[in-house]
Amino acid sequence: MIFAHEVAHQWWYAQVGNDQVREPWVDEALATYTSGLAMDGWGMFDELRAYWERSYELGRSRVPGATPFDPVWAFPEGRGYGGIVYSGGALFFLDLEGTMGRAPLLRALRRYLGEYRWGIATGAELLGILRDAGGAGAKEVIEGWRRGARP
Ligand SMILES: [Zn+2]
């Protein structure tokens, strides 16, 4: 799991940079979600998803009201950070996948990679591409997660 996550950073952060303190989800949630694609290919996705769910709920119990889109400083001493930003962020992308389909989501991520490669992207720019690609369903998922409520 860790190996796949760190390899995924060769795309998310190594090719598309972002502000890791203000918006850590932009690379960490993407690296976690896309590492799940590798785990899926290895037949280990159900176990991984169960881990994401447990980790997210543990994070929510430690920092009630926090969302995957929060900055690093929303998690004093790192409490709940991994569960909410990494696992919750991966579940956010998984909800998007459920709404728009995997292939359209991956096309949107390729567009994001193409438009921001070797640059610095913001969360708003990534969300804009996801809204464009996923329409009303994606907008509902995004707004739900931003409110701290899974749709
Ligand atoms: Zn990471």
Number of alpha carbons in the 13 Å side-chain half-sphere of residue 50: 4
- Residue 132 alpha carbon to ligand 1 centre in Å: 26
68 inside domain: yes
Question: What residues does 16 pair with on adjacent strands?
Answer: 12, 119
137 inside domain: yes
pLDDT band at 148 (very low <50, low <70, confident <90, very high): confident
- Residue 28 alpha carbon to ligand 1 centre in Å: 5
- Residue 99 alpha carbon to ligand 1 centre in Å: 25
- Residue 58 alpha carbon to ligand 1 centre in Å: 19
Number of domains in the chain: 1
Q: What is the pLDDT of residue 150?
A: 73
Q: What is the pLDDT of residue 151?
A: 58
- Residue 24 alpha carbon to ligand 1 centre in Å: 9
- Residue 30 alpha carbon to ligand 1 centre in Å: 9
**What would the pLDDT profile of 63-109 be if each residue is shown by its tens digit?**
999 999 999 999 999 999 999 999 999 999 999 999 999 999 999 99
Distance CA(111)–CA(113), nearest Å, equals 5
19 inside domain: yes
- Residue 18 alpha carbon to ligand 1 centre in Å: 13
151 inside domain: no
- Residue 98 alpha carbon to ligand 1 centre in Å: 23
Give yes or no for a contact between 112 and 51, defined as CB atoms under 8 angstroms apart.
Answer: no
Give yes or no for a contact between 58 and 83, defined as CB atoms under 8 angstroms apart.
Answer: yes
- Residue 5 alpha carbon to ligand 1 centre in Å: 6
Q: What is the pLDDT of residue 131?
A: 97
- In this structure, what CATH number is given to the domain that contains residue 135? 1.10.390.10
pTM of the model: 0.96
Using the predicted structure, report yes or no on whether residue 141 has a pLDDT greater than 70.
yes
Print the domain residue range for 110. Answer: 2-146
